[in-house]
């Protein structure tokens, strides 16, 4: 049994938390490969080491040398070394990193040093080898993960019973350090899990897994004990953020489950994310509800639209011309709507797009609704259950909210409901009540 464990920024925030990690690892010998983030916030209002390092990169660009931000990075690592009683020469390591950051003069390089140092410290503390991601995680020239990484990681870990790998970064073919997008140590963990054919990818964070609804809207919502990769994709794209969205792909392809665990409550079960083939939906038809505000809906109506060849194509051409992506495209026989994140239409672009659509397809009617919120009701259980949509819309109707748009994914895995921004919270609560309190 091999478990790959990734520990996030809060779990790595200080020496006390890193000691918690050691006891988590001691409890289970299958926890063999550890992927670490840079130290995150110790308390609200604190600054993440990664943010200090981006600031350091700006200092180097402007003045040619590291400044106050790097001094704070040093303090963080020095106190970790002190708390853990490490014997490595932290000062020498930190000075060497400062020189490297000044020489490389690259934001990605500077940011990567958080994970590099965290990995070095953790490996020393656990008494296991440290693997520099620079040597084993390969990026393509355009910043994507190169598939040769899996072979490199597998080779490097062959015969090594336990090791620490730095998350978040790697190097391109020329040896330049590259990073994933923010929160990318989740991706590194998934990559290592796949490379070593792990039985499970444990992602240790500061929450006990996914919740069925946003806790800022519904107080103490139910936890989700299991969900499928597909459900996770729908929920995280609609704002349920526990895991980096790209972390799913490496492990999903290799059929490896992800378990989200809480470093601060290690006995909590957390959430397991399973490939659809292994996932058994529970009695509850809805697994989770997520949502986001601020979408714009462009609604078009034209008689005999269904017979007009290329109608949608011509509208999409307008969006393409302006590099605008759309989220959903619900349609009726003579109607079609395009749901677009409003931020993409700022600065007068909405008017331009509407004019161009009018010129391209001459609709009989065109309405624009701004300030629309989308709510995704997600669950495999919905597809075999009669009457779920009826319950959903009856619950929304009872709160007196007008539904602006409905879209059901063809897999019947989700129903998306559009309401006015101002009704977002009310609707979320009503839907949660209906499916989780009854
Ligand atoms: N340290 C990086 C960040 O703050 C990556 C990570 O923690 O996953 O974004």
In tens digits, what is the pLDDT along the chain, a chain of 438 residues? 999 999 999 999 999 999 999 999 999 999 999 999 999 999 999 999 999 999 999 999 999 999 999 999 999 999 999 999 999 999 999 999 999 999 999 999 999 999 999 999 999 999 999 999 999 999 999 899 999 999 999 999 999 999 999 999 999 999 999 999 999 999 999 999 999 999 999 999 999 999 999 999 999 999 999 999 989 888 877 766 788 878 888 999 899 999 999 999 999 999 999 987 777 767 788 999 999 999 999 999 999 888 889 999 999 999 999 999 998 898 888 999 999 999 999 999 999 999 999 999 999 999 999 999 999 999 988 877 788 889 999 999 999 999 988 888 767 788 999 999 999 999 999 999 999 987
Tokens 């790998």 belong to residue: 165
**Ligand 1 touching residue 9 (CB < 6 A):** yes
pLDDT of residue 406: 87
**Ligand 1 touching residue 119 (CB < 6 A):** no
Instruction: List Cβ neighbours of 275 (8 Å cut-off, separation of 6 or more).
Output: 228, 229, 252, 255, 257
Q: Which of 11, 104, 92 is nearest to 56 (CA)?
A: 104
pLDDT of residue 254: 92
Beta bridge partners of 34: 5, 164
pLDDT of residue 239: 66
3-state SS class at 272: strand
**Ligand 1 touching residue 70 (CB < 6 A):** no
Measure 183 CA to ligand 1 centroid, in angstroms: 4
Q: Which of 168, 188, 319, 173 is nearest to 250 (CA)?
A: 188
CA distances to 18, 116, 123 from 83, rounded to whole Å, are 10, 19, 15
Q: For residue 38, give the ligand 1 atom closest to its CA.
A: 1
User: Which segments of the chain belong to CATH 3.30.2130.10?
Assistant: 288-436
The CATH number of domain 3-274 is 3.40.1160.10: yes
pLDDT of residue 404: 87
pLDDT of residue 225: 92
Share of the chain above pLDDT 90, in %: 83
Instruction: Supply the residue whose CA is at minimum distance from atom 8 of ligand 1.
Output: 183
**Ligand 1 touching residue 259 (CB < 6 A):** no
The pTM (predicted TM-score) of the whole model is 0.85
User: Which segments of the chain belong to CATH 3.40.1160.10?
Assistant: 3-274
| CATH class of domain segment(s) 288-436 | alpha beta
**Ligand 1 touching residue 170 (CB < 6 A):** no
How far is the C-alpha of 92 from the C-alpha of 366, rounded, in Å?
Answer: 66
Q: For residue 188, give the ligand 1 atom closest to its CA.
A: 8
**Ligand 1 touching residue 114 (CB < 6 A):** yes
pLDDT of residue 374: 94
**Ligand 1 touching residue 50 (CB < 6 A):** yes
How many helices (H) and strands (E) are present in the chain, helices listed first? Answer: 14, 16
The answer to whether 284 touches 208, Cβ cutoff 8 Å, is no
How far is the C-alpha of 167 from the C-alpha of 188, rounded, in Å?
Answer: 5
pLDDT of residue 162: 97
How far is the C-alpha of 379 from the C-alpha of 415, rounded, in Å?
Answer: 9
Beta bridge partners of 131: 165
Q: Which of 242, 281, 234, 280 is nearest to 258 (CA)?
A: 242
């Amino acid at each position: 049994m091999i478990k790959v464990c990734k520990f996030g920024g809060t779990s790595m925030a200080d020496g006390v938390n890193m000691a918690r990690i050691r006891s988590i690892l001691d409890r289970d010998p299958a926890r063999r490969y550890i992927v670490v983030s840079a130290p995150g916030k110790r308390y609200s209002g604190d600054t993440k080491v990664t943010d200090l390092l981006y600031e350091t990169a700006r200092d180097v660009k402007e003045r040619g040398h590291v400044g106050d931000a790097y001094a704070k990075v040093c303090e963080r690592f020095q106190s970790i070394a002190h708390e853990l009683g490490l014997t490595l020469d932290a000062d020498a390591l930190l000075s060497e990193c400062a020189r490297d950051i000044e020489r490389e003069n690259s934001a990605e390089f500077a940011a990567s040093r958080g994970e590099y140092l965290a990995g070095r410290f953790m490996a020393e503390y656990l008494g296991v080898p440290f693997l520099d991601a620079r040597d084993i995680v390969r990026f393509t020239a355009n910043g994507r993960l190169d598939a040769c990484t899996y072979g490199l990681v597998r080779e490097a870990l062959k015969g090594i019973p336990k090791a620490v790998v730095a998350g978040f970064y790697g190097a391109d073919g020329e040896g330049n350090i590259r990073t994933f997008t923010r929160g990318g140590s989740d991706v590194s963990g998934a990559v290592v899990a796949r490379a070593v054919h792990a039985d499970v990818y444990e992602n240790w964070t500061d929450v006990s897994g996914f919740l069925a609804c946003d806790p800022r809207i519904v107080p103490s919502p139910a936890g989700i004990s299991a969900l499928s990769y597909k459900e996770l994709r729908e929920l995280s794209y609609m704002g349920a953020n526990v895991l980096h969205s790209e972390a799913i792909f490496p492990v999903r392809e290799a059929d490896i489950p992800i378990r989200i665990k809480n470093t601060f409550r290690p006995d909590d079960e957390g959430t397991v994310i399973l490939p659809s083939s292994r996932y058994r939906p529970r009695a509850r038809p809805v697994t989770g509800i997520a949502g986001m505000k601020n979408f714009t809906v462009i609604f078009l109506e034209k008689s005999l639209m269904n017979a007009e060849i290329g109608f949608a194509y011509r509208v999409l051409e307008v969006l393409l011309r302006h590099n605008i992506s759309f989220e959903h495209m619900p349609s009726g026989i003579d109607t079609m709507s395009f749901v677009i994140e409003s931020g993409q239409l700022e600065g007068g672009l909405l008017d331009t797009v509407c004019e161009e659509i009018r010129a391209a397809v001459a609709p009989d009617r065109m309405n624009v609704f701004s300030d629309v919120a989308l709510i995704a009701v997600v669950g495999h259980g919905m597809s075999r259950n009669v009457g779920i949509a009826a319950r959903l819309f009856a619950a929304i109707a009872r709160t007196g909210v007008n539904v602006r748009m409905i879209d059901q994914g063809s897999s019947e895995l989700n129903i998306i409901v559009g309401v006015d921004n101002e009704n977002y919270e009310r609707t979320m609560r009503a839907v949660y009540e209906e499916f989780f309190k009854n």
